[in-house]
Amino acid sequence: MDFRVMSDSSCDISQEQEKAYGINLISYYVSFDGVNYKKDRAEISAEDFYREMAEKPGVYPKTSMPTQVDFYEAFLPCAKKGEKVIYLNLTSKFSSSFQSARLAADALMEDYPDCKIAVIDSFSATVQEGLLVTEAARMAQDGISFEDAVEKLEELKKTSRIFFTTGDLSYLQKGGRIGKVLTQAASMLKIKPIIHLYEGELQAAGIARARKKSIAKFVEDAKAFFADKNINDYRICTGKGHDQEEYDAFHKDVEAEMKALGFTGEVESYQIGCTIGVHTGPTPIGIACIRKYDA
């Protein structure tokens, strides 16, 4: 392989993917009290995080981004060996960690001129970011050069989408993702949001009066996205929060809907992790897709 792939814990790839592709992840930090922080994935699992969130309604957890020192120490072993690294970062619209990662990479490339570290703003988050990260890993395994992979990933990230809903807008409001007025209106009217994530930003895509209707609406949005495309040029996945029973039925329905559109691949399954769960609450559910890279 010409390069190594790294990302942050918000990409929500599975431990199996992490090991199979040799992807190194840098952890965000998560706290329920604003004082004691744990490393996402390394010190707190998604399952434990959602369980604690469900048991503490009204408590809004917080995240803290990796420090420049965290990035420096994560990149350092590769830099010392003169290796090439592609690091895919959570969308810069959500976090300033992108800048910290670039500063660390620049410092290391100055100290170790034989190494190359490309820091890429993924324009994405959670399962959408995970699809991009694993596409990068596939490129590495297929022998794509560092320079070509960087170019391909910059184009590929523009093809990804998330279509999702969540049951409680207050978490997005607390995290500064949406306004207080919208949150209060949604609560009073008992409406659920339909949200898209593309070009690195959350986009409001409609509302529905109930959870099932909001899910049905964003599934229709996903189907409409593929209307003028070859669906088999894409990887598709679903993502879940805390409710396994709801998710199992949802995933099965999405598989049937995609198959009806002619999709012959596997609809992959991802667990939405702590870093993004802080902002969505315990009830996120959605679909993500990305165009597969062209070798």
pLDDT in tens, 225-257: 999 999 999 999 999 988 889 999 999 999 999
Q: Give the Cα separation of 16 and 137 in Å (integer).
A: 13
Q: pLDDT category, 281, cuts 50, 70, 90?
A: confident
Q: Give the Cα separation of 282 and 140 in Å (integer).
A: 34
Q: What is the pLDDT of residue 180?
A: 45
Q: Give the Cα separation of 258 and 239 in Å (integer).
A: 15
Q: What is the pLDDT of residue 231?
A: 98
Residue 187 has pLDDT above 70, yes or no: no
Q: What is the pLDDT of residue 283?
A: 87
**Residue with the two structure tokens 């942050």:** 8
Q: What is the pLDDT of residue 254?
A: 97
Q: For residue 229, what are its two tokens?
A: 């495309």
Q: What is the mean pLDDT of the chain?
A: 90
Which residues, other chains included, contact 246 with Cβ-Cβ below 8 Å and sequence gap of 6+? Answer: 285
Instruction: Say what the pTM is.
Output: 0.92
**Which of helix, strand or coil describes residue 109?**
helix
Q: What is the pLDDT of residue 169?
A: 67
More confident residue, 34 or 260: 260
Angle at CA of residue 145, ends 142 and 148, nearest 5°: 110
More confident residue, 180 or 65: 65
**Contact present, 103 and 97 (Cβ < 8 Å):** no
Q: pLDDT category, 181, cuts 50, 70, 90?
A: very low
Give the CATH architecture of domain 4-157. Answer: 3-Layer(aba) Sandwich (3.40)
Q: Give the Cα separation of 165 and 196 in Å (integer).
A: 9
CA 159 to chain centre: 14
Share of residues in the chain with pLDDT > 70 (%): 92
Residue 293 has pLDDT above 60, yes or no: yes
Angle at CA of residue 135, ends 132 and 139, nearest 5°: 140
Q: What is the pLDDT of residues 90-129, one digit of tens each?
A: 999 888 999 999 999 999 999 999 999 999 999 999 999 9
Mean pLDDT of 71-75: 97
Mean pLDDT of 262-270: 97
Q: pLDDT category, 201, cuts 50, 70, 90?
A: confident
**Environment class of 58 (CB within 10 Å of its CB; exposed 0-12, middle 13-18, buried 19+):** exposed
Mean pLDDT of 139-158: 97
Residue 157 has pLDDT above 70, yes or no: yes
Mean pLDDT of 78-88: 98
CATH class of the structural domain 159-291: alpha beta
**Sign of the alpha-carbon torsion through 157, 158, 163, 165:** positive
Q: Give the Cα separation of 295 and 263 in Å (integer).
A: 20
Count CB neighbours of 149 within 10 A: 25
CA 218 to chain centre: 18
Q: What is the pLDDT of residue 55?
A: 85
Closest CA to 12 of 3, 1, 62, 23: 23
**Contact present, 272 and 239 (Cβ < 8 Å):** yes
The 8-class DSSP code of residue 20 comes to H
Q: What is the pLDDT of residue 175?
A: 52
Residues paired with 271 in a beta bridge:
240
Q: pLDDT category, 54, cuts 50, 70, 90?
A: confident
What residue segments make up the domains of the chain, in order of their start? 4-157, 159-291
